[in-house]
Amino acid sequence: MSGAASYVHDVSAEEIAEFKRGLNALDPLSRRIMALLIPRLIALEELGDTEGAIRVIDEIRSILWEGRRTRH
Quick: pLDDT tens for 37-51. 889 988 998 999 999
Give the sign of the dihedral formed by CA 18, CA 55, CA 34, CA 43. negative
* Domain extent listing, the chain: 13-71
Are 69 and 30 in contact by the 8 Å Cβ rule? The answer is no
Are 23 and 60 in contact by the 8 Å Cβ rule? The answer is no
Q: Could you read off the pLDDT of 2-41 as tens digits, one per residue?
A: 444 455 567 788 988 988 888 888 888 888 888 888 899 8
pTM: 0.55
Are 57 and 38 in contact by the 8 Å Cβ rule? The answer is no
Burial of 51 (0-12, 13-18, 19+ CB in 10 A): exposed
Are 9 and 17 in contact by the 8 Å Cβ rule? The answer is no
